[in-house]
Chain A
Amino acid sequence: MKRAAFATALLFSSLVLASGGAHGDSPPDVIMHHVADAEEYEFEIPWPGVEHNPTLHLAKIFDFLLFESEAGACETPVPAKSALSAIPGVAKWMNGCYDMRPTKSLLMMWISAVLLLLFAAWPRRYKDASKLQPTGMRTNMLEAIVLFIRDEIADKNIGGKETKRYTPFLCTAFMFILMMNWLGLIPNFGSATGNLAVTCGLAITTFVLTQVAAFRSAGPVGFAKHLTGGVPWFLTPIMIPIEIIGLFTKPFALMVRLFANMLAGHMVLFFIISLTFLVTAWAVVAAVPMAAAIYFLEIFVGLIQAYVFTMLSAVFIGQGVAMGHHAAEHH
């Protein structure tokens, strides 16, 4: 058993070395290449002698999704000293180059979405509500998850009639993020949640729902009043900007937390594997078990981060729902 594990580790390391060698890049380049978004999806076959991996050129296939406000807007280089030079994607957008072409991250997201739909929404008999016991492993799993989200997350943080309204959103958020997190653990696939734009999109959904919840419960007047923070009138010019910024900090934290956790996990995995060819090939003896341990940790982290995102979304929505009650108490 031990010998078999060792042989597998050696084989694995040789494959890693072979594929790393095929690229001819330094380990940091390889790592960044793996975790960063890309305009094409390269299906790596880590086998000696395979020179060209099958590659899906997403940007070229979906070229019709590249819109320009004026001809040549996409060719204009981003000025190196501009404020947005650190984020070239946004800078290009500001220049009038509306790039809607899918990327590797989006492909991963779509794969996750399809897998999730297959898992959760594949036709089955839900209609017979009179059945007292759930049937089938998949239904049982889904019920356990959905009931946990309803009872432990939604009901405890939102509560009352509003629980029912937001439970489907929280279920989708949890399962979708979980699927994206875990997809990245399968070799040759990536985590869409390891991309800041993706987590930004997810955080926006929570942000919008939080504001909707607040607006619904407090009404326009209560909502506006809440922005003043209840301070004396002459302080409102200071308070309103602070409160508005405060609205954004919570989803911002959601966005960064999920992104950083998923990115860091993958980077740690790659770094440990890279020890093999950064230090000595014999480091594989330590690197592979360590990577395996980190791998298991990543399974856990993927679950925890999905839970944390869902939990905090429920907390924020709950705060929004509670805003109306506070306003009512003040009156």
Chain B
Amino acid sequence: MDVRPGLIIWTLVTFIIVAILLRRLAWGPLLRAVEGREQKITDAIESAKRERAEAEKLLAEQKAAMTQVRQEAAEQLQKAQESVARFREELMAKSRLDAEAMKADAARAIEEERQKAVLEMKAQAASLALTIAERLLEERMDDAKQKQLAEWFANELGPRAKA
């Protein structure tokens, strides 16, 4: 088999030219495009992962917030109910006390009035009795009878007056 050194040199020259041209025009741009695409896909996956994690976090936060709000609302409601109940109790108790007090006042007032009336009545009765007695005495009294009566008074009322 013959080997031509000239052909070896030509092969090298051709190969180097082809290699440089292809590197410039084909492999370089192609590999860059592919790498750019790979980078882009990686980035997209990364950002998708990140966004998903963020969304999950947000969702969890929201859920927690919701639970908290619901709990708070329940607590508030309970508290309100409790306070209402307590208020009612208080109100009831107070009104009962008031009523009792009013009743007591009324009773006392009635009693006072009664007492006053009794006293007034007593006074009036005494003066009436005196007036009646005066009239009676003025008309029918003579000396004998006056003397008899005075004695009777003295007998009858003496011990009591002494006591």
Partners in one complex: yes
Of the candidates A89, A131, A198, the one whose C-beta lies within 8 Å of that of B33 is A131
Count, chain B residues at interface, CB 8 A? 37
CB-defined contacts of B35 to chain A, threshold 8 Å: 129
Contact A169 to B19, CB < 8 A, known contacts A87-B2, A126-B30:
yes
User: Which residues from 160 to 199 on chain A have a C-beta closer than 8 Å to any C-beta of chain B?
Assistant: 164, 167-169, 171-172, 175-176, 192, 195-198
Whether A143 contacts B7 by the Cβ 8 Å rule is: no
Of the candidates A37, A116, A128, the one whose C-beta lies within 8 Å of that of B4 is A37
CB-defined contacts of B60 to chain A, threshold 8 Å: none
User: Which residues from 1 to 42 on chain B have a C-beta closer than 8 Å to any C-beta of chain A?
Assistant: 1-12, 14-19, 21-37, 40-41
Count, chain A residues at interface, CB 8 A? 55
Does chain B have a CB within 8 A of A88?
yes
Q: Which of A106-114, A235-243, A289-297, A301-309 contacts B (4 or more CB under 8 A)?
A: A106-114
Q: How far is the CB of A258 from chain B (nearest CB, A)?
A: 12
Contact A200 to B37, CB < 8 A, known contacts A126-B32, A129-B32, A167-B31:
no
Contact A146 to B34, CB < 8 A, known contacts A109-B14, A168-B28, A172-B23:
yes
Of the candidates A89, A117, A131, A198, the one whose C-beta lies within 8 Å of that of B21 is A117
Q: How far is the CB of A40 from chain B (nearest CB, A)?
A: 14
Q: How far is the CB of A170 from chain B (nearest CB, A)?
A: 9
Complexed CA–CA distance, A143 and B12 (Å): 26
Q: Give A contacts to B, CB under 8 Å.
A: 36-37, 65, 87-90, 93, 98-103, 105-106, 109-110, 113, 116-117, 120-121, 126-132, 134, 139, 142-143, 146-147, 150, 164, 167-169, 171-172, 175-176, 192, 195-198, 200-202, 204-205
